């Protein structure tokens, strides 16, 4: 056991005659480690981008709610009447009446004949 640990510490497994297998395996492990680091880096970039977009969506949603409430205030009759009073246009004191237009009934060919 002591000799095995000592040979690992001295890296004798890299200098033996079958060391090419070991070097290939070490290069394979290094390549996998680099790929894992790159993958983690890309994952973290996407997480930061998602967090950024989420905060932007919240900000835009609150802005939308503010603008919608402002629009509702502007559409109110009292606000409109105040704006129109500045232009000397006042609301009517007489309520509006609904106008109904009756379409004349067309007579059929036979009805026209018997007249």
Residue 30 tokens read as 């290094």
> 37-80 pLDDT, tens per residue?
999 999 999 999 999 999 999 999 999 999 999 999 999 988 88
pLDDT of residue 77: 87
pLDDT of residue 13: 66
Write the DSSP symbol of residue 115.
-
Asked if residues 55 and 61 have their Cβ atoms less than 8 Å apart, the reply is: no
Q: What is the crossing angle of helices 77-86 and 19-75, to 10°?
A: 60
Q: What is the pTM of this model?
A: 0.53
Picking from 37, 40, 39, 11, the residue whose alpha carbon sits closest to that of residue 26 is: 11
pLDDT of residue 22: 76
> 4-28 pLDDT, tens per residue?
677 666 676 677 777 777 788 889 9
Write the DSSP symbol of residue 15.
T
pLDDT of 1 higher than 70:
no
pLDDT of residue 9: 66
């Amino acid at each position: 056991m002591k000799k095995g640990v000592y040979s690992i510490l001295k890296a004798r497994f890299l200098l033996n005659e079958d060391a090419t297998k070991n070097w290939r395996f070490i290069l394979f492990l290094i390549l996998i480690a680099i790929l894992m680091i790159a993958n983690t880096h890309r994952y973290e970039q996407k997480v930061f981008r998602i967090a950024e977009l989420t905060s932007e969506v919240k900000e835009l949603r609150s802005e939308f709610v503010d603008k919608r409430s402002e629009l509702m205030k502007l559409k109110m009759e009292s606000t409109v009447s105040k704006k129109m009073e500045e232009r000397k246009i006042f609301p009517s004191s007489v309520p509006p009446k609904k106008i109904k237009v009756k379409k004349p009934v067309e007579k059929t060919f036979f009805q026209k004949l018997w007249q």
